[in-house]
A and B are shown apart, each in its own frame.
Chain A
Amino acid sequence: MSPPRPAPEALTRRRLLKRGLFGGALLALGGSAALATRGGLSLPLPPEGLQVLGPREYATLQALARRAFPPRPGWPDADTARVALTADGLLARGDPAVAKEVKDLLGLFDNALAGFLFAGRVTPFSRLAPEAQDAAFEAWRTSRLVLLRTGHQALRTLVYSAYYVHPAAAAATGYVPPEGFHDANAVAWKGEGPRPAPGPVTRKEGSTP
């Protein structure tokens, strides 16, 4: 057989758009306050405070979350589930370099100049009408630029993870952890004294001896 060939290059103006070079410049654009002259949405900050996100990044993410989780009976909406705040907590636990990239990405996503370059619009994402927000996010998903598809994937993963870790959101899908098995007081043996016996098991169909 012939060796596997590299995937066809998805980008057209390949030299100009080479990832890394152009990608770096784009992210810098996102992070640049000077270019983000058109103000985005501003939301009241959570009383707990933010650990990683700035107010504008927080508002941008929450605006995206509101589109991801429109009101639905029995389901918490984006504000009830406090998606952007949870995402802020997740970012704070991870690698600071990743948090910085996500902040840059959110800056780029809401940046009016970037919107103009990619889609010819001059309104920041967070201030667009709901349908236009959907279209803007969708445009990143289907972009010919791998970088924008990557950005779409990163933001989408962040809002979905932050929403579905909320117990009410998980329960709305039908998943409720089985009861009577978790023992929050079980002894965590560290080598001192005898090893505790395995946890008590409520046997049910499907169990092995």
Chain B
Amino acid sequence: MSGRIFTGDELTEDRVVTCDVCVVGSGAGGGVLGHELARRGLDVVMLEEGGYRTRRDFDMKEATAYPAMYQELANRATDDLAISILQGRTVGGGTTVNWCASFRTPPEILQRWRDVHGVKGLDEATLAPHWDWLEERLHIRDWPIEQANRNNQLLWEGLGKLGYSRGTVKRNVKSCAALGVCGLGCPTDAKQSMLVTLIPDAVEQGMRLFANVSARRLELDGSRVVAVHADVLDPRTDRPTGKRLTVKPKVTAVCGGAINSPALLLRSGLDGRGLVGKRLFLHPVVISTGRFRERVEAFFGAPLTVYSRQFIDRGPGKLGWLIEVPPIHPVLASVTMPGFGAAHQELMAQLPYANAVISITLDGVQPGDVGGTVSLRGESEYSRLKVEYPLTDFHWEGFREALKVAARLQFAAGAEQVLSPHSSPVVMRSEKDVALLDPAPYAPLMCRVASAHQMGGCAMGGSRETSVVDSTLRYWDADNLFVVDGSVFPTALGVNPMQTILGVAHWGSQHVAAAVGGRS
């Protein structure tokens, strides 16, 4: 049986469809889950509120990509705008726009989930065959240092000079031409995202995918979800067309990603005893911008291929971080770069000479670090969601130390100037200026913070008193409701999250499949 991808413009009447499993969201979690269920012969309906954008749409321009493929046109942020949040919203979710870095989950994180959060049956050995399969299918391979772009090579050199640990990153790409535009959609289909791999595989096996369809509310009868009520959106305007799609599934899997999954549960009156939306982790990032004499052209070449976990564990009570470099394109650079007017233009004119080092902090693993919260601004099905993430002295200390390390790395690699992400930047011209970072202001909106990795909000755990889903990813208080995406993580990871989400979804699909037959 062949399935079909439908888009909003084809859904001109209200429709009711029945199926075995309704998968809400088509990203890393939903894409794998839909595939695994369709492969088992189950009737799967997948809903995706973003559009069906393919390589014909990927023109490598930020003007096209952000409004069409990111949550809130790439302007999602915490309520006070202190942390900007990049998150995918398109068929394939984050996997369509992410930077391809692929890491297995660090073993110590899985141990923590077991020992501190009571998660059962999810260890390295259990996940290994799932990752093996994914690595084969998604062509996850090492990207050797010789093929790194200058942006990554500078990080490699800086790490080497300072004697810090360093490694190359695996990427899910095939015949990658190193164009550098992964964040804008891959125009050659080289990126092995859900969009070009498991989603089409699943459609070939019978899955029906409805793009431009936003799940607004789950309807419950007692402890069972009996319907998913969704709005059809106009692909051109992204506004509801007034048509509704109602899915009546045996089992529902919410895969909208951290932030949107908790929001959907909350809109449906499912608050998990007050735990839904809590423990949101963002891997908060601070960016250090270096200017070099040579052209770096960080907008070209495979974007993220070198990393260091030298500072991931700074001991109890301290925020650790992962070091990487991002691609640098004009729009994102412009909002990140400090200054205004001619001074800002001058920085932008130097873009080809810029290198940026990102320090991705590992949140949720220190006692008392409970992260942020997703909530709703009102009661209605259409109320906007609200993200809050209090930044405390604990975070600012980590950011300050991370910025010092980043600046040293950039000077070691030959930077002639390094700028901090403060709204009035600390300008450093040599190593000895790094001390200037100490007295700089560390407060919301005085120092820019960003996130491209959202996790948590529907935390998995060993007890219904402390978590939202159990160790089979099932919502504790409903029989046929699962959450399968990054929102189930009880902590952040300290590595880029895609492969962990893919692996957890591949492993978790057995539980979702079992629930269809009532054998949960």
Contacts and interface: CB of A to CB of B under 8 A. Distances in A.
A136 to B, nearest CB: 12
B427 to A, nearest CB: 17
B interface, over-half SS: loop
A68 B344 contact: yes
Interface string A175-198: 101100111111111111001001
Contacts of B179: 178, 181
Contacts, number: 232
B175 A198 contact: yes
A12 to B, nearest CB: 14
B330 A181 contact: no
A137 interface: yes
Contacts of B345: 69-70, 72, 75
B444 A134 contact: no
A97 B352 CA distance: 37
B81 A199 contact: no
Contacts of B317: 1-2
B178 interface: yes
A5 B446 CA distance: 19
Contacts of A183: 55-56, 187
A164 B331 contact: yes
Contacts of B75: 94, 98, 157, 161
Nearest to B207: A191
A93 B238 contact: yes
A149 B73 contact: no
Contacts of A6: 390, 392
Contacts of A156: 335, 340
Interface in B1-57: 2-7, 52, 54-56
A178 B472 CA distance: 45
A156 B310 CA distance: 35
B122 interface: no
B479 interface: no
Interface in B322-352: 329-331, 333-335, 340-342, 344-345, 348-349, 351-352
Contacts of A198: 174-175, 188-190, 196
Contact of A203 (B173, B175, B369, B390): B175
B393 interface: yes
Interface string A150-183: 1011101100110111110110111101100111
A21 interface: no
Interface string A110-139: 000000000000000000000000100110
B301 A208 contact: no
A60 to B, nearest CB: 16
A interface, over-half SS: loop
A204 interface: yes
Given A178-B300, A198-B189, A70 B177 contact: no
B107 interface: no
Interface string B64-87: 001100001111000011101000
B141 interface: yes
Interface in A1-24: 1-8, 10, 19
A51 B67 CA distance: 16
B311 interface: no
B43 to A, nearest CB: 15
A181 B177 contact: yes
A208 B174 contact: yes
Contacts of A152: 445
A173 B171 CA distance: 28
B301 A206 contact: yes
Contacts of A207: 175-178
A48 interface: no
A141 interface: yes
B391 A153 contact: no
Nearest to B441: A142
A188 B178 contact: no
Given A183-B187, A191-B203, A7 B392 contact: yes
B341 A68 contact: yes
Contacts of B54: 186, 188-189
Given A134-B341, A175-B351, A177-B181, A191 B204 contact: yes
Contacts of B395: 4
Interface string A55-88: 0000000000001111010010000000000000
Contacts of A72: 342, 345, 349
B184 to A, nearest CB: 9
A67 B175 CA distance: 45
Contact of B394 (A4, A190, A205): A4
A5 B342 CA distance: 39
Interface in B409-440: 423-424
Nearest to B196: A198
A182 B184 CA distance: 12
A70 to B, nearest CB: 5
Given A93-B238, A178-B300, A185-B56, A5 B334 contact: no
A3 B367 contact: yes
B331 A165 contact: yes
Interface of B: 2-7, 52, 54-56, 58-63, 66-67, 72-75, 80-82, 84, 141, 143, 147, 149, 171, 173-179, 181, 187-190, 196, 200, 203-204, 237-238, 297, 299-302, 316-317, 329-331, 333-335, 340-342, 344-345, 348-349, 351-352, 366-369, 384, 390-396, 423-424, 443-446
Given A7-B391, A161-B334, A207-B178, 5 more contacts: A173-B352, A175-B299, A181-B179, A188-B56, A206-B177
Closest 6 CB pairs of A and B: A3-B368, A1-B317, A4-B394, A165-B63, A177-B60, A206-B178
15 contacts: A2-B317, A4-B393, A5-B393, A7-B392, A90-B67, A95-B72, A98-B384, A149-B423, A149-B445, A156-B340, A173-B352, A190-B203, A200-B188, A201-B190, A209-B174
